[in-house]
Amino acid sequence: DTAVSQTPKYLVTQMGNDKSIKCEQNLGHDTMYWYKQDSKKFLKIMFSYNNKELIINETVPNRFSPKSPDKAHLNLHINSLELGDSAVYFCASSQNNGLSYNEQFFGPGTRLTVL
C-alpha cells in the first residue's frame, strides 16, 4: 500500500553513463515532482508535471529529462552522468484542487552515487 514509490533505492554508476529513476504514486494525485537534495541538505525542485503536462522546469542541465507516461508515473532520465549529479533524488505528488496545491507526499528517495 505504498503511496509514492521509487526505484531503484540506490544507484551507483560511472561517469558518462545514462541512467533512469522511476516513480509511481497510487494516491490518485494529478501532480508529480522531482527534487534533488544535495550533500548540504537543500531540497530543490527540478521538474513538475500536472496531468502529464510539464509545468515546472527549473534551471537544470538538459542532460536531465523527465517523462510522464500517465499521471501516476513520472520518470527521470539522466544522460552523461557527472560527479556533481551525486545526490538523493526525491519524487513527490500532490493534488491540485483548482484553488491551490495541497501538501506533497514524498517517495523514499533514490541515492545516486557517480564514481
Partner 1 sequence: RKEVEQDPGPFNVPEGATVAFNCTYSNSASQSFFWYRQDCRKEPKLLMSVYSSGNEDGRFTAQLNRASQYISLLIRDSKLSDSATYLCVPGPSSNTGKLIFGQGTTLQVKP
Residues that bind partner 1 (CB under 8 A): 31, 33, 40-45, 48, 50, 55-56, 90, 94, 96, 100-101, 103-109, 111
Task: Identify which of residues 14 and 41 has a Cβ nearer to partner 1 in the complex.
Answer: 41
Q: How far is the CB of 80 from partner 1 (least distance, A)?
A: 27
Task: Identify which of residues 50 and 68 has a Cβ nearer to partner 1 in the complex.
Answer: 50
Q: How far is the CB of 11 from partner 1 (least distance, A)?
A: 15
Segments of the chain assigned E as strands = 4-7, 10-13, 19-25, 31-37, 43-50, 53-57, 64-70, 73-78, 87-94, 105-106, 110-114
Q: How far is the CB of 31 from partner 1 (least distance, A)?
A: 6
- Nearest alpha carbon to residue 110 among 27, 1, 4, 31: 4
Task: Identify which of residues 65 and 95 has a Cβ nearer to partner 1 in the complex.
Answer: 95
- Nearest alpha carbon to residue 76 among 86, 67, 84: 67
Task: Identify which of residues 14 and 100 has a Cβ nearer to partner 1 in the complex.
Answer: 100
- The cell 521538474 sits on which residue? 47
